[in-house]
Structure 1
Amino acid sequence: MYSSNLLGFILAMVSSAFIGSSFIIKKKGLRKAGVSGPRASSGGYGYLLEPLWWIGMITMIVGEISNFVAYIYAPAVLVTPLGALSIIVSAVLAHFLLKEKLQKMGVLGCLLCIVGSTVIVLHAPEERSINSVEEIWELAIQPAFLLYTASVVAIALVLILYFSPRYGQTNILVYIGICSVIGSLTVMSIKAIGIAIKLTIEGINQAKYFQTWIFAMVVITCIITQLNYLNMVSILICSSSTM
């Protein structure tokens, strides 16, 4: 258990480093693309032809894969808080590579991220032993969790269909809210798939259960949605810093 948690911890740290770096790389790509054509915030898609932007996107995908594997080996309560460290990575790299000065409140926010993540990780409970995806499914269809899932889906749809078209281009919190709300379902589904993969490797085939494929579809849907709106966040941040 200790060695598995340690491996999950290392993978989560690597994931934060890659994801944090990806924002800076993509931002440099967006800036470079904006020099030679319309900015992304103005409807331009020149950044899709910029290699630096694609390097940033690949870096983010590698980070997400590392994060996915971390859930296989460690409890979600240990892996998830470490994702906040990507903020620290982005802040430090932005200071040195983009010459963006971190204000006092920004430094305080970074310190709070470190303290919060450390406290949660140090007090992370031991993971419950699960022998099949069916056990996770039984937990997922409990009335309380179904109510929570319905609430998350409803809030996400309102943000995507109503607030995003009207306020997304002027208020970054809309896109961040979409990613954060959907992220809660992403974490639970990824953990389910991670356990399914681990059990299958150990010789207990989980692909025969339809629940595994439902969790897989939820993961794919959530990740694609989050990547889309995280990209919009990057575009808005870049645009606001070059105005």
Structure 2
Amino acid sequence: MATKHSWRDGMSSDNIKGLVLALSSSLFIGASFIVKKKGLKRAGASGVRAGSGGYSYLLEPLWWAGMITMVVGEIANFAAYAFAPAILVTPLGAVSIIISAVLAHIILREKLNAFGILGCVLCVVGSTTIVLHAPQEREIASVIEVWDLATEPGFLFYAALVVTASFVLIFHFIPQYGQTHIMIYIGVCSLIGSLSVMSVKALGIALKLTFSGMNQLIYPQTWAFTLVVIACVLTQMNYLNKALDTFNTAVVSPIYYVMFTSLTILASVIMFKVILESDGISMLWFYLYDLEFVT
């Protein structure tokens, strides 16, 4: 059973590395939302919009610039998961909300009302509290250990619920409500994203161990996690593009962050069996409560 660990007890060197990488990731990802949005708007002016099922943005250089920026951020994020618990890394995405909201206001002329600003502030407050109470993660000696955790009944049940809910949203709700209800697109991104983070975490651990001299590439489980990462990321990107093309960036970013973070923390608690201190658990309500402010 993982022991409690808080900022007051001092962070491990790995946690500090993870924190720095996560903050760097948020800077790049926050900026990428804006660049991709401009690319989507430019592509939509000359072809079928992404929100209407078009893929003309694949020919737009500005969209690719945004994608490259996001990839750089995701690489830093990927590395962060190899060093620190998902419960510490994921909430730091709040920084990307501030960056994207400020840049959306300056560059895209998208306005956030007072409640939207308050929602962003609450996201940051909640993130800070969770980071301060992030537990020390158990030591993982092999990707096989992660696979065993991922195939336990509790997490398999969670994964089945996520996949089922995603299919229902994609095939039933998106055709009817995708253009008018932001929660549909964001729901798919967040649900699938919680699985992708767990797979990224597993793959990051495998690569970290491999680089330290314990080759994990010989195990089929490593490649299974890789396939899950690819499938999940492609699905996330597809529906995130649709959300960005259809709705205000300053609204998409915080809602996506709130749902994605909450589901990722839940998935991490189930899979890795980490436990937040009571103050940290109570802050999860801030994330859910934020949805009332940013919508």
- The answer to whether the superposition gives a TM-score over 0.5 is yes
| 1:70 has 2:90 as partner | no
| Structure 1 Cα separation of the partners of residues 207 and 48 of structure 2 | 44
| 2:135 alignment partner, SS class | coil
For 1:142 and 1:43, how far apart are their aligned partners in 2? 37
CA deviations 1:163-189 (Å, max 9, x no partner) are: 122221222211100011111111111
Q: Which of 222, 230, 234 lines up with 1:224 in the alignment?
A: 234
1:1-243 correspondence runs (5 A): 2-36=12-46, 39-41=49-51, 45-237=55-247
Q: Which runs of 5+ in 2 are unaligned?
A: 1-10, 252-295
Cα distance in 1, alignment partners of residues 49 and 141 from structure 2? 51
Distance in 1, matches of 2:94 and 2:171, equals 27
Q: What is the CA–CA distance in structure 1 between the aligned matches of 2:155 and 2:45, rounded to whole Å?
A: 48
| Greater mean alpha carbon deviation, residues 159-168 or residues 117-126 | 159-168
TM value normalised by structure 2: 0.76
Using the TM superposition, give the Cα deviation of residue 84 of structure 1 relative to its aligned residue in structure 2, in angstroms: 2.9
* Deviation of the 1:108 alpha carbon: 0.3
Report the 3-state secondary structure (helix = DSSP H, G, I; strand = E; otherwise coil) of the residue aligned with 1:130: coil
Question: Partners in 1 of 2:174 and 2:155 — Cα distance?
Answer: 26
Q: Is the 8 A contact 1:26 1:52 kept in 2?
A: yes
Distance 1:233 1:140 in 2: 30
Q: Distance in 2 between matches of 1:46 and 1:160?
A: 21
Summarize the Cα distance change of 1:43–1:126 in structure 2 as closer, same or farther, 3 Å threshold.
Answer: closer
Q: Using the aligned pairs only, state the percent identity.
A: 64
Q: 1:72-111, CA deviations, whole angstroms, 9 ceiling, x for partnerless residues? A: 1111111011123222111111111122232101110110
Deviation at 1:159, TM superposition (A): 1.1
- Contact between 1:20 and 1:89, CA under 8 Å: does it hold in 2? yes
TM-score (norm 1): 0.91
What's the C-alpha RMSD, in Å, of the aligned pairs?
A: 2.0
Q: CA deviation at 1:2?
A: 2.3
The CA deviation at 1:40 is 4.3
Q: Does the 8 Å CA contact 2:50/2:242 hold for their aligned counterparts?
A: no
Counterpart secondary structure, 1:15: helix
Q: 1:91 to 1:197 in 2, by over 3 A?
A: same
CA contact (8 A) 2:26 2:92 kept: yes
